[in-house]
């Protein structure tokens, strides 16, 4: 079993897998509602229109994982993107690999501690939700409709995550 190093999530380091969703100085933003509200605009490329696809809005409630975390599989959604936005500031881990045939040598893990969300591009391999420390709710935007939009693949050899790798 191989240890997968943890990285801190940044927009640059995550760009090959999707977008980091964050209300910060890099976002397009402007005032609305007579100046009483600041809108952080168009933060992710939501892609749900394949075939008869429609956009779904859900809440996922993740149970906290204990360190070290063992990873046995990844999944992808070939018909649409999938966005996760935490509804609290509990830390979580994002594990990803580029779209296409799964290349286990290109799997990366990111620790998220600042309340940022992520949007996985269509076909991006990722591990299911990995909440840490506490039960955590996430607003999830993804695709509904016909067609097989979930592929799962067991890893050839399990990986594990340990916070000591930061």
DSSP string, 28-62: EEEEETTTTEEEEE--S-----STT-EEEEEEEEE
pTM surpassing 0.85?
A: yes
pLDDT of 165: 82
pLDDT confidence tier of residue 12, bands split at 50, 70 and 90: very high
- pLDDT (tens digit per residue) in 48-97: 999 999 999 999 999 999 999 999 999 999 999 999 999 999 999 999 99
pLDDT of 89: 93
In this model, does residue 1 exceed pLDDT 90? no
Residue 25: how many CA atoms within 13 Å on its side-chain side?
A: 0
For the chain, give the percent of residues with pLDDT over 90.
95
> 9 with 118: CB under 8 angstroms?
yes
Q: What span, in angstroms and rounded, lies between the C-alpha atoms of 18 and 125?
A: 11
Domain span including residue 68: 2-165
pLDDT of 36: 96
pLDDT confidence tier of residue 47, bands split at 50, 70 and 90: very high
Question: Domain holding 146: CATH number?
Answer: 2.60.120.480
Query: How many structural domains are present in the chain?
Result: 1
In this model, does residue 104 exceed pLDDT 80? yes
């Amino acid at each position: 079993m191989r240890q997968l190093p943890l990285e801190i999530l940044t927009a640059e380091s995550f760009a090959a897998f999707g977008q980091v969703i964050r209300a910060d100085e890099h976002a397009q933003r402007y005032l609305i509602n007579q100046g009483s509200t600041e809108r952080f605009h168009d933060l992710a490329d939501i892609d749900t229109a394949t075939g008869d696809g429609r956009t779904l809005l859900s809440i996922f409630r993740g149970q906290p994982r204990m360190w070290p975390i063992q990873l046995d599989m990844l999944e992808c959604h070939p018909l649409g993107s999938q966005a996760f936005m935490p509804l609290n500031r509990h830390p979580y881990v994002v594990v990803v690999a580029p779209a296409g045939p799964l290349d286990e040598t290109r799997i990366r893990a990111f620790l998220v501690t600042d309340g940022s969300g992520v949007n996985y591009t269509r076909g991006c391999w990722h591990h299911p939700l990995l909440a840490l420390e506490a039960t955590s709710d996430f607003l999830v935007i993804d695709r509904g409709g016909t067609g097989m939009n979930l592929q799962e693949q067991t890893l050839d050899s399990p990986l594990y995550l340990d916070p000591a790798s930061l």
